[in-house]
Amino acid sequence: MHSTWEDMEEFREQLSHGSIQQAYRALLTYIMSLRTHFATRYPEIAVSGLYQGHMDITFFALFPPSLKRRDLKIAIVFNYDEFKFEAWLTGRNRKVQRQYWELFRDSRWPKYRVVTPAKGIDSIVECDLAEDIDFSSPEALTANIEKTTFAFIDDIERYLSAQKSGKEAPRGRAKR
């Protein structure tokens, strides 16, 4: 059986090399600059503070007015296990999440994942923003995350509008 003590010894050993600290600092610096990019470029969208997590996820949230009215938000997430950026549609609380999950659960999204509610699950719908991340070109990475995030928001907004009007929801990605 693996022990916490063994994990701590491995952690200590890896930290002694110094690259983990440098990489973590660079990652957090990039995510903070991404957060600032959204806050500066889109003043009509509220942006939350940064949640650093426990080396599982680090994220900040965007509150587009049309989603905020519905108690929804978009989390821009760095998923450490998958080592990729994701956007998550999430609710203000578990009750809101469950309500919207029921609305989305039977939808078919070729590029998105509808996530079944469970303990520790904080998303309703997820979208991959950036995989095979190239931190050597942060401007290109930011542009890709921005473009894909707004396509995701547009698709969510169109889906919710179609549900409200009783129409078939459009599928695919919008251009911004």
Domains of the chain by residue range = 23-165
Residue that is written with structure tokens 């994220």 in the block? 59
Residue 40 has which token pair?
């500066």
Strands (E), the chain: 46-47, 57-63, 72-79, 84-91, 112-114, 125-130
Three-state DSSP class for residue 93: coil
- B/e letters for 43-63, b = 16+ CB within 10 Å, e = fewer, are eebebeebeeeeeebbbbbbb
pTM of the predicted protein model: 0.88
Q: Per-residue pLDDT tens for 128-158?
A: 998 888 889 999 999 999 999 999 999 999 9
pLDDT at 170: 42
